[in-house]
Amino acid sequence: MDQLAGRVAVVTGAASGIGRGMARAFAREGMRVVLADIEPSALELVRAELAATGAEALAVPSDVSKAESVEALAERAYQRFGAVHVLCNNAGVFSSGVTWEQTLEDWRWVLGVNLWGVVHGIRSFVPRMIASGEPGHVVSTASGAGLVSLAGTAGYNVSKHAVVTLSETMAQELAARGAAIRVSVLCPGPINTCITRSDRNRPSELGTSRDTRTDEKLREMLEHGMDPDQVGRIVVESIRCDRFYILTHEDLRTGVERRMRVILDDGDPAAGRRQKKRSGSEGF
């Protein structure tokens, strides 16, 4: 979709990090922006920031893990702007821990936001976007963790691999229908955001259970990560040129290549870990 000015974008997880970066980038393009997030006060700050630049922005506090909340978001967006052209299913949370130790609550939370949030976005918006007959683009945020399998973050990995295949599947279905809607899956490498503080949005009834070693390592890595505003610019460019796989870091390709090689060679994904264990330098 080449022309963005005057069109309408919906961004979930817009109150922080990558979502805020995308919202800012869309507003700079002259788009009208619907901002959704579970944190109303942070969301209002972003709305006010965009409004101060002259952009038209609507803030809708939402919980993407709940179908009725996302449906209400779609109703508000269409009520206010009459159309949606770009949908960014971006809200996400991070949860760490060894596969068999992650609690059922960890699994439910991370899959509820990261996977069901995307499913809800697609179910509430895509039929309306198809019915409008106007050009559209759906960008769902997966991760580098949706392309390879890193130890210590099973629930997160599962949710992100799911978003990749969901996007690949839907792109084919829309193309087969001749719909004017394109699809992208955003796979960021390390980005300097608040994702390691995801617990701030964890429902209190789910308690806490975190692998603090993984969290600490990740926090250090993300502090040196890409600026989320840069991701916003990359997404705008990718929508313009209909790029499906949006990889923010070149070295993610090396990981994909390595994984595919292991699969094609009938290899063992844990071989490297076994070697490190034998030499006494294992990680997790």
Q: Tell me which residues touch ligand NAI (CB under 6 A).
A: 12-13, 15-19, 37-39, 62-65, 90-93, 113-114, 141, 143, 188, 190-191, 193-195, 198, 201, 222, 225, 228
CB 126 within 8 A of CB 138: yes
Closest separation in Å from C-beta 101 to ligand NAI: 21
- Nearer Cβ to ligand NAI, position 4 or 115? 115
- Nearer Cβ to ligand NAI, position 2 or 250? 250
Residue 181 to residues 71, 93, 113, 161, Cα–Cα distance (Å): 20, 27, 24, 22
- Nearer Cβ to ligand NAI, position 87 or 113? 113
Closest separation in Å from C-beta 262 to ligand NAI: 22
Q: Which two tokens stand for residue 2?
A: 């080449």
Closest separation in Å from C-beta 132 to ligand NAI: 24
Place of tokens 């809607």: 181
Catalytic entry in 155, 156, 228, 232: 156
CB 145 within 8 A of CB 156: yes
- Nearer Cβ to ligand NAI, position 81 or 94? 94
Closest separation in Å from C-beta 15 to ligand NAI: 4
DSSP 220-283: HHHHTSB-HHHHHHHHHHHHHTT-SEEESSTTHHHHHHHHHHHHHTT--TTHHHHHHHHTT---
Determine whether 156 is an active site residue: yes
Q: Which sequence positions are flagged as catalytic?
A: 156
